[in-house]
Each structure stands twice: as C-alpha cells, then as structure tokens.
Amino acid sequence: MNNIFTNNIKTVEFDALIIGGGGSGMRASLELAKSGLNTAVVSKVFPTRSHTVSAQGGITCAIASHDPEDDWRWHMYDTVKGADFIGDQDAIEYLCSEGPKAVFELEHMGLPFSRFENGRIYQRPFGGQSKDFGKGGQAARTCAAADRTGHALLHTLYQNNVKEGTNFLNEWFAVDLVKNSKDEVTGVIAFSIENGEVAYLKAQATVLATGGAGRIYASTTNALINTGDGLAMALRAGFPAQDMEMWQFHPTGIYGAGSLVTEGCRGEGGYLINKDGERFMERYAPNVKDLAGRDVVARSMVLEILEGRGCGEKNDHIFLKLDHLGADVLNSKLPGICELSRTFAHVDPIYEPIPVVPTCHYMMGGTPTNVNGQAFKRLNEEDYLIPGLFSAGEAACVSVHGANRLGGNSLLDLVVFGRATGLHIQDELKSGGGVDSATKSDIDDALERLNKLNESDKGFDTAEVKKELQECMQNYFGVFRRGEFMEKGLEQLSEIKEKVDNLHLKDKSDAFNTSRVEAIELQNLFEVAESTAISAFQRNESRGAHARDDFPDRDDENWLCHTIFDPISKEVSKRDVNFKPHKVDAFPPKVRTY
Amino acid sequence: MFGNKLQVSLYRYNPEEDKFPYMKKYTIEKPERDIMVLDLLHLLKEDDQSISYRRSCREGVCGSDGMNINGKNGLACITPISSVIKRNKIELRPLPGLPVIRDLVVDMTEFYAQYEKIKPFLQNETTAPEQERLQSPEDRDKLDGLYECILCACCSTSCPSFWWNPDKFVGPAALLQAYRFLADSRDNKTEERLNALSDPFSVYRCHGIMNCVSVCPKGLNPNKAIGEIKSMLHKNKKDIIVSDGV
C-alpha cells in the first residue's frame, strides 16, 4: 500500500471549486453551473447529509406575506441590534434587501413552503423580530416549511443542481489549500474517502462553504461532521479569522442529547419554565419575554440553573412548555419537534414539557469576506483580497451576525451570499480574472499534513484527544467566560496541541477509512478552538454571545469592533465595523434591551 | 450468563484485506442507560478504529446511517438498543442488495441513479411571478408525507423487487419523490412524468410487499404513493385512448 504521496498525484482542473455541499455551497454551485463554468462541489458527505438539513424553524425575510406592510429595513434594524452592533451594516443591508429575491427563487425552484389561506408563504414569529424599527411590536418574519425548513431547502437546492448538471465529488475530503508563491489560492489537495485516491483539484476560484464547527464543544446541536474544515484550512494557510469568540448557544438543545428544538416552538406560543413552573423570561425580558435574542435567553436560563431553580433531580435543566398549544398545532406546525422529543427526551410535547439546556449552535465568526464572498487578509490594518479564495455561509464572516445571530438569519445568509459568491466568480472569471499555477513544491507543501498522518507509527488516539479538546472548550469557553478560567483553558489547549500534532493513525487502509477522516477533522477542530480561545481571552467586555463575568458590560469605546485572529503570530487585532450602508442611514449603537 | 454483557455481531469487510465478508463478535459492558445503535458503534470504534460506517446529523434527518439492525432496516441514530436487543445480542449488517464498499458502507450509486431518473425537481416553464407562486394550504397538504424523505435507502434496500431489478425498477424511495412532484400543484409536467414511468418495470414491479412502509424511519408510506401513481397511469392511458378515438 502506498500511502505516501509525492506530487505525481493526479491534477484535476476546474474553473471553480466549491468545498462543501450544504446550503451556501450548493447555492453558489447552482449559479456557477447555470453560467456554464466548469464547476465542481467537493463534499465529504452526500450533499443532502450536510448540516443545513437540520435547520428547523425557517428562513427570516421580509417577503411581506404575514404583514403586507413589512419592510426589509425593519429586518435590517433587528439584525443590527441582534448583532449587538458589530455586524457590518453594508452586508446586513445586502442580506435583508436581496433576501426576498433569494426566497422567491427558492420557492420557484420547488421548496415546499407551508402556506397561509391566501396561498402565500407561511411566516412565523421568531426571537428579536420587530415592526417599525422596534416600535411596532412583534413581527412574524420567518418563512417556514413546517419545522423542516432546512431539510426542504437543502433537498430543493440539491434537486436543482441535479437539474443543472453540477459536478459533484461526493465523499471526497479536502485536506489543505494549495497556494502559489504570490500567496494566491489555486485549489486544494483532496482525497476520495471511498478509495483513498489523492488528487490536486486545481481551480481559478476556491469557495470555502464548509459550515460551522460546533463540535469544538462537548455539547452541541451540530452534526458530527461540523468540524470547521474550510476555516481550518484557511488558518493553516496563514489567512485570518474574524470574531471567533462569538459562538451562539441556542437556548433549547434537548437535555442530554444536544439535538436542536427550534425557536419556532416559542414563536408558536411555547415558553420556558423553571422548577417552580415560573415563566422566568418575564423577569429578564419584560417586553418580548421568550422571544428575546438567543444570547439573552440562554444566559437567563443559565442564571436560573445557577440560582437553584433548574428542573429535574439535579436542577440542571429548564423545561420548554408546549402542551397548551394543543395537538393540532403541534402536529401541523411542529411535527419534527414532536418526533425528536419522543426519540431523544422520551417525552411527548403534547402532554409534557421538553427538558432543554443552552447548547452550542452556531459560529458567528469565520473567514472574513466582503459581500461578494471574496476572502481577505489584513496587512497594516487594511483589508487585502486573497486572489482565488472565497467563502460563504457559516464558514464565512461577512459579517451579518456580529456578536449574536437572529434565528432564521442563517438560512438567509446561505442563499443570499452563496448566490452573491457565485455571481461574483462568474463576473471575475469571464472578465479574465484568475490565479497563477502552483509549482511542484507548492503542492508538496499542501500534502505535508496528510503525509505525516499516513506515516505516523506512534502517537495519540483521535477519540481521546477529541474528548479532551471538547471538554476544555466546554469548561472554559462556554456561555459565561472569565479571564482566569480562560487562562487555564489556554494552558490546556497548548498541551492538547502537542497531541493533535502527533496523532497516531493506526488504520492506514484506503477504502472508506473513516479514522483517517476523523483524525484530520480533529486537527481542524483544534485550529478553530484555538482561534476561539485566544479571541475570547482578548475581548475584555461582554457583547452579544460573548459574556465575561469579569467584564460584565459592553464597552463601545474600546470594543465596538471586530477581532481579527492572525494564525501565524497567534495575535488578535481590531478591525472597524462597517457603519456605511448604501440605501439607508446607519443604525447607531444603543443600549440593547428586549 | 450474559446479564451485564452485550454481544454485538458486526458485518466486517475490508476489500484490501478480506477475500470474503465475515461477522465479527464484540462483547461489551451493557451501557447503564439506553443508547442508540449509533452510540454503540461509536463505542466499538473507540476500541477498533478500523470499523467503518457513515454518520452525520445523529438525529434522524440526514439519512446517512441506514443499516440492517437485527434483520430490519433502520437508522442507527434513532434506534434505541433496548428496542432491538434480543437475548443480549445485536446483529448489524449493511443495507441489503447494494454492493458493500467496506463494513457497513454500501455503494449507493444505483439508488441515486433511480432518484435522478424521475427528474426530482419542480418543472414549470411558465414565467414565474415576481413573488412566490401561490399554493393553497390544501394543495400544500398533498405534499405532506412525501417531501420529508431523507434518501436513507432503508425502503428501497428492503424491497425484493428492487433487489431483483435495481437498474429498471425505480424503487420505493424514488417513486415517493416521483409522486411528490406529480402531486405538486405548481408542477405542470404531469403527462411527461407519467409517460416516463409507464413501462412494465419502473412502477409495475411493485407488488405491494410493503416492506418499504414497515421500515421507513420517517413513518412515510411509499406504497400508498405508488398506488396513486398507478391510478394516475391508468387514467392517463384511458385519456390517451379516448382522445385517439376522437
């Protein structure tokens, strides 16, 4: 068996290469396949197994179906406020104003949205939504296909890619970016999981659409495959990550199992109670109660538990009460939730409350990009585009979610920026843009990590080190953070790094060797975890999802900015937030209450 | 004698080492709490890295981990071991009827080819409105029980007709999707879709054995959808004859 690869490996050439077959990847590929460019999607799983499939409640967008007066500017206001004012307002403006077009396109592609009596798309209320810039009460802006919106969206996108004849390299795993001497990205090294074949996939444009990395935490709603592969590849190639301290903890993950219970449950009228049966969100967010921002609700739940009012024998969780909605509403609007709770919580929400805890859910940070999906690095405090490299979806930080994402905005992010990236790559390549070829030694550099793993004859066990990493992140970088604890966490991480760099791959076989995949995924998780830890330690304030015990207040004077993590120096610098939208006046920072 | 032990019999095959597949026995401490079959596989893999299986969402929505559990197809991630243990034993095999790549991983090429064959995308060549196409809640309800399919292949690989003719019989999973588009008020290629299914194999190899219904982890009913397609085919044929007569 020859597992050590020199650069005699096969080169396969494309115009555009998309790493990841989830929502953003397949929305980008659809645009590119339609344009006639030679495009391939590289996905480590069959595309409909991607994590977009697990999204439940819906896609938030001002299509003015529930309320004919609804306005994308109101959606923009909510998103800016939800982000605790460090979302880039030019990007949020693009998201909210282009959103309706992107949602109607999905409907035309066949997405089976639920409907209102008048035949228009069904919309439900979600947290953080308002009318008239926060003055007109709760809005209902989340377009839904029952509580299976992500599934419906992902399958619709796959189906339309089949229609357009997109090339799929399914069950191929991208290992590392290939860069030429000008620091341009010229494709990736990847291998076929099915037979171990390694290839250099060469492209003029490489899009990282690899989703999030919730598996850095022990308790997460994320799929097992959410290991931040694209972001980690960019970090290893020396490219920065932005706002990595910002991780969303979803208020309602099923206690013990971690599976997501949609915010749509609370949108439909469900609410949280503590062990005394008290609807405690009335105390923390008197106006919108259970529909406050996710960060606010998650923190309130943790405080209830810490103060001894948690439910269950150990007082360590909260109940989500739905039974008052009645069997009809639950069966028609939340059928998937009923199924999940019966399977994983052993309760039937028609009769009993669901035990839930805040659970890691979403990575607001990622590879920094502009609204065209073009990734950039920082030189002398300025943005420099990286030729050949793009990113979209959860892997990217454009940044529309800032310090806290609103529910339903991730699916919108996927389709709006997946589409924008596809459109931009077309323009760029058709007007003669592109990158220089890589040399033999450039390709060898990118093969180094895979070769080292394949040559390993001793070292650490992947499963054990993964557990250690996840527990460290859970303990020291969770919902509440404190400097002294994070210092301990950082110390632990440096020990874990030694192990991650010296994993022992016992099974060297080629055919569907999932232990090779898992070892590389662990290395990717580490890159993401390290950037998270260092960024969290640096941001000395509390904002959005980043809550510091030792710095409980928001500090606009010093921290109304993005953080940029440099993977080479391991240092964090600041980057200005965009306050220059094109069509409306910027929304200035103000106190964020719900 | 196996009070606290659990015996797992696992189908093993590595094409680089094994001439033939074999069943390997693993004995482990019975977990204290009820766990899913997928968790059981994770436990085995911690000790034996070479075990191979697909998994992703671990909550029954991505369709990666369809396998044959004690003789019945199902998703490992939502099957509690308590529901399948027989005399402290569990037997895990790959989905039947498809070529095995390694251990529990099957080659699903033929399954996906049937899916693509039915043109699994909305077809409507009329100019789309600026907003969404309207659809009444009643028309939308017709898609319930159809669009939720996760392509796990539990149904098609439990179907004897699919075992015999995986290249010509479309199979329950893809037929469910064929009906999903036939039933969609927004799709206007009904005639073309039916014509593509009217040969003796595509639909008519279904003999109502109903294994598809009994194994579907999402509680869907491909057999019913196939019945609907058959009546549409009959009606379509009759319409053609009548119009020929005129």
Name chain B contacts of A48, Cβ cutoff 8 Å.
62-63, 150-151
Please tell me the pTM assigned to this model: 0.96
* A259 closest CB neighbour out of B53, B59, B130: B59
pLDDT at position B237: 79
* Interatomic CA distance for residues B165 and A512, integer angstroms: 27
Are B132 and A63 within 8 A, CB to CB?
yes
Name chain B contacts of A103, Cβ cutoff 8 Å.
132
Q: Which of A280, A262, A274, A407 is nearest to A330 (CA)?
A: A262
Tell the burial category of A594 from Cβ atoms under 10 Å away from its Cβ (0-12, 13-18, 19+).
Answer: buried
d(CA A269, nearest CA chain B) in Å: 21
Residue B43, chain A, CB below 8 Å: the answer is no
pLDDT at position B4: 85
pLDDT at position A326: 96
Tell the burial category of A553 from Cβ atoms under 10 Å away from its Cβ (0-12, 13-18, 19+).
Answer: exposed
pLDDT at B246 over 60: no
Q: B148, B187, B216: which to substitute to probe chain A, counting the most A Cβ within 10 Å? A: B148
DSSP A50-113: SGGGG--S-EE----SSSTT--HHHHHHHHHHHTTT-S-HHHHHHHHHHHHHHHHHHHHHT---
d(CA A509, nearest CA chain B) in Å: 7
pLDDT at position B245: 42
d(CA A98, nearest CA chain B) in Å: 13
pLDDT at position A6: 59
Q: Which of B158, B151, B149 is nearest to B219 (CA)?
A: B149
Chain B residue with Cα closest to A146:
B144
- State both tokens at A35: 């344009």
In terms of DSSP bridges, do strands A10-19 and A39-43 run parallel, antiparallel, or are they unpaired?
Answer: parallel
pLDDT at position A1: 39
Are A159 and B63 within 8 A, CB to CB?
no
pLDDT at A539 over 80: yes
Name chain A contacts of B124, Cβ cutoff 8 Å.
108
| A window 192-211, beta carbon within 8 A of B | 194
pLDDT at position A189: 97
d(CA A338, nearest CA chain B) in Å: 12
* Interatomic CA distance for residues A261 and A272, integer angstroms: 12
* A511 closest CB neighbour out of B16, B121, B181: B16
* Interatomic CA distance for residues A19 and A208, integer angstroms: 5
Chain B residue with Cα closest to A106:
B132
Chain A residue with Cα closest to B59:
A259
d(CA B4, nearest CA chain A) in Å: 23
Do residues A174 and A229 touch, judged by C-beta distance below 8 A?
yes
Q: What is the mean pLDDT of residues A404-415?
A: 97
Are B132 and A118 within 8 A, CB to CB?
no
Q: Which residue among A236, A294, A419, A554 is the active-site one?
A: A294
Rounded to 5 degrees, φ, ψ at B28 are -130, 160
Residue A296, chain B, CB below 8 Å: the answer is no
Residue B230 CA, distance from chain mean position: 20
Tell me the per-residue pLDDT of A489-506, one tens digit each, with 9 for 90 and over: 999 999 999 999 999 999
State yes or no: ipTM above 0.90. Answer: yes
Matching residue, tokens 């639920």: A114
In terms of DSSP bridges, do strands B100-102 and B105-106 run parallel, antiparallel, or are they unpaired?
Answer: antiparallel
- State both tokens at A516: 């090779």
Task: Please give the C-alpha separations between residue A503 and each of A228, A572, B41, B91, B118, in angstroms, as whole numbers.
Answer: 18, 28, 21, 32, 45
Tell me the per-residue pLDDT of A150-207, one tens digit each, with 9 for 90 and over: 999 999 999 999 999 999 999 999 999 999 999 999 999 999 999 999 999 999 999 9
* Interatomic CA distance for residues B50 and A513, integer angstroms: 7
Percentage of chain A surpassing pLDDT 90? 98
Residue B187, chain A, CB below 8 Å: the answer is yes
Measured in Å, how far apart are chain A's first and last C-alpha atoms?
61
> Average model confidence (pLDDT) for chain A?
96
Chain A residue with Cα closest to B15:
A511
Are A343 and B128 within 8 A, CB to CB?
no
